[in-house]
Amino acid sequence: MTGINTSSHTGDPLLDFDVAKVKEDFPILNQTVNGHPLVYLDNAATSQKPQSVIDALVGYYSSDNSNVHRGVHTLSQRATDHYEEARSKIRRFINADDDREIIYVRGTTEGINLVAQTYGRENIQEGDEIIISTMEHHSNIVPWQMLCQERGAILKVAPIDDSGELLLDEYEALITSRTKLVSMVHVSNALGSIIPAKRVVEIAHAHGVPVLLDGAQAVAHAKVDVQDLDCDFYVFSGHKLYGPTGIGILYGKADLLEAMPPYQGGGEMIRSVTFEKTLYNVLPHKFEAGTPNIAGSIGLGAAVDYVDALGMERIGAYESGLLEYGTELLSRISSLKIIGTAQEKSGILSFVMDGIHPHDIGTILDAEGIAIRTGHHCAQPLMDRFGIPATARASLAFYNTKEDLDALAKAIDRVIEVFS
Ligand code: C6P
């Protein structure tokens, strides 16, 4: 597996990436659906898994399956080594400073809930404020609403413009002496907008406010460096990064994590327990109560190895080329409107069509073997902002091709035909 044509650079990222070779690493892509070769364009919902990730899962269960941090026997030590090696790989992948800052969680949703229930409960009092943006996924809205309800705190929403760009001045104007946290999506799942995350953090920090970034749609598509971003928390899901479901990462700066109370109580998160008192374990174990998703962590480590070998910069360049190509194709369809046209965009093509419900678009595309997502994308307030109930969304990964996008455009012509 390399997928990178290093011998003859053409300067065209679409040509410099050997996508045919890369696709061979993803067995699921080699099938027909409804009589057509599968075109998988639902990568923002979940991405497909390379053989190396599947092998890592099978390898773990075939050779090493055992509980971690508990046994002196060989299998347990092997499982623990692999589990902790994966943590180190993930730490390097996002350039965190220390393995202690990498907390295994179930996914983005659990990572945000963890921060809300620990940092939030500890630091947010009546009348305090939390700032999010219009573009949030429900998982970066509801946990804060729950906390605000409990505490009598206030949730403020930074607006966006019609292209889907965050209005930085209006965001800054929302910050007051009562603002205790900013929690924002790094890349919008419904629009593809990439927020100026570094600037968002700088502005918040200038007011002494910590920042959580929801990186669910960012980590698989561009190099993320948490130290460069200087964010205080960063969360993402393994399954959108070519890894297994049920595993994700909460990154937090060590001093913040140290000061936070634990999330759940149970085994593993303790140093000692008596009926009178429990002493908590050190980081990261303080936040990892119970038997963790060992196979998932190891699988995520293998996914990180895979994308590292391809190179995040090359992945980003290739996907940008694809996005440009797809945007151009869809823009030619007069009855179609792209929702989300920010200057800085990740590989998401959300669109609506005159008089045709997105679900009908999705159904007809499925009959052509094309998988997209339709609906509100768990971002209902964002749909309200655009005055629409739903969009059809094609979302890209590095194993997609220009031909996939040609097939999408052709199938959209078919949708128009059916409804004319
Ligand atoms: N978005 C989509 O189709 P979980 O479910 O915990 O792995 O990820 C939640 C989540 C949080 N933030 C953003 C920006 C997301 O995109 C998602 C998941 C999927 O867009 C499923 S709703």
Domains of the chain (ranges; CATH) run 13-46+312-419 (3.90.1150.10), 54-308 (3.40.640.10)
Q: Which residue out of 378, 383, 409, 416 is catalytically annotated?
A: 378
Return the axis-axis angle of helices 294-310 and 51-59, rounded to nearest 10°. Answer: 150
Separation of 138 CA from ligand 1 center, angstroms?
A: 8
Predicted pLDDT of residue 10: 73
Mutate to test the pocket of ligand 1, among 40, 189, 194, 241 (most ligand atoms within 8 A of CB): 189
154-158 vs 129-133, strand pairing mode: parallel
Asked whether 91 and 254 are in contact (CB, 8 A), the reply is: no
Separation of 232 CA from ligand 1 center, angstroms?
A: 20
Predicted pLDDT of residue 102: 98
188 CA closest ligand 1 atom index: 14
Mutate to test the pocket of ligand 1, among 47, 114, 133, 137 (most ligand atoms within 8 A of CB): 137
Predicted pLDDT of residue 2: 37
**pTM flag (> 0.95):** yes
Q: d(Cα 116, Cα 143) in Å, to the nearest integer?
A: 6
* Residue 378 appears among annotated catalytic residues: yes
Per-block average pLDDT, block size 10, for the chain (420 residues)? 48 86 98 98 98 98 95 94 98 98 98 98 98 98 98 98 98 98 98 98 98 98 98 99 98 98 96 97 97 98 98 97 98 98 98 98 98 98 98 98 98 97
Separation of 207 CA from ligand 1 center, angstroms?
A: 29
Burial of 20 from C-beta contacts in 10 A (0-12 / 13-18 / 19+): exposed
Predicted pLDDT of residue 8: 52
Give residue for tokens 């303080």. 286
Q: d(Cα 57, Cα 355) in Å, to the nearest integer?
A: 45
Neighbours of 4 (CB within 10 A): 18
The closest residue, in CA terms, to atom 5 on ligand 1 is 109
Neighbours of 157 (CB within 10 A): 18
Tell me the three state secondary structure of residue 22.
Answer: helix
Length of the chain: 420
Q: Which two tokens stand for residue 172?
A: 């800054």
Give residue for tokens 């269960």. 61
Sign of CA dihedral 253, 259, 264, 267: positive
Q: What residue ranges line ligand 1, CB within 6 angstroms?
A: 44-45, 107-109, 137, 139-140, 185, 189, 214, 216-217, 237, 373, 377-378
Separation of 276 CA from ligand 1 center, angstroms?
A: 41
The closest residue, in CA terms, to atom 19 on ligand 1 is 45
110 CA closest ligand 1 atom index: 6
- Please name the residues in contact with 362: beta carbons below 8 A apart, sequence gap of 6 or more: 372, 373, 374, 392
